[in-house]
């Protein structure tokens, strides 16, 4: 069994227009995306070559691109991000995504609401 290594890209800050309320599509909100992926990085440890690892710049780009596509539900956005990671990065064996809407427009003093999705390649093949 291969050793899995963890790559984290946390604190991706974006401004987007997700939400069910009509004003959310106009006003928008601040969001934070956190991504963790697990892959066997043994080759990159010896090669020192970007092609042998999971490029965290690419993970950030996926998050930013998918957050830019409006959805009413964060569930849709989370699934799009995790699907792209698993489809575009075959080295990734497991992925964890957390998307938080900061200061959501709900009654109450709420810092954030968040959804967390995981995918495991062993369970999707």
> How many CA atoms are closer than 13 Å to the CA of 39, on its beta-carbon side?
20
Question: Quick one: CA torsion of 21, 113, 101, 28, rounded to 10 degrees?
Answer: 20
Q: What is the pTM of this model?
A: 0.91
Q: What is the pLDDT of residue 25?
A: 75
**Each residue's pLDDT tens digit, 71-88:** 999 999 999 999 999 999
Q: What is the pLDDT of residue 103?
A: 85
**Each residue's pLDDT tens digit, 92-119:** 999 999 999 998 878 888 999 999 999 9
Q: What is the pLDDT of residue 2?
A: 73
- Say how far apart CA 62 and CA 22 lie, in whole Å: 26
pLDDT surpassing 80 at residue 64: yes
Kindly list the structural domains of the chain, giving each domain's residue range(s) and its CATH number in brackets, ordered by start.
5-124 (3.30.1130.10)
pLDDT surpassing 70 at residue 89: yes
> What are the residues facing 37 on neighbouring strands?
7, 95
């Amino acid at each position: 069994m291969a050793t899995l290594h963890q790559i984290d890209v946390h604190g991706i800050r974006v401004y987007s227009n997700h939400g069910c309320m009509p004003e959310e599509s106009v006003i928008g909100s601040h969001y934070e995306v956190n991504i963790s992926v697990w892959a066997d990085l043994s080759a990159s440890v010896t090669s020192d070559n970007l092609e042998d690892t999971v490029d965290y710049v690419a993970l950030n780009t996926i998050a930013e691109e998918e957050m830019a596509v409006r959805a009413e539900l964060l569930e849709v956005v989370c699934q799009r991000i995790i699907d792209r990671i698993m489809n575009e990065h075959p080295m990734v064996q497991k992925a964890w995504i957390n998307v938080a809407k900061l200061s959501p427009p709900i009654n109450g003093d709420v810092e954030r609401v968040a959804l967390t999705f995981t995918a495991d390649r062993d369970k999707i093949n």
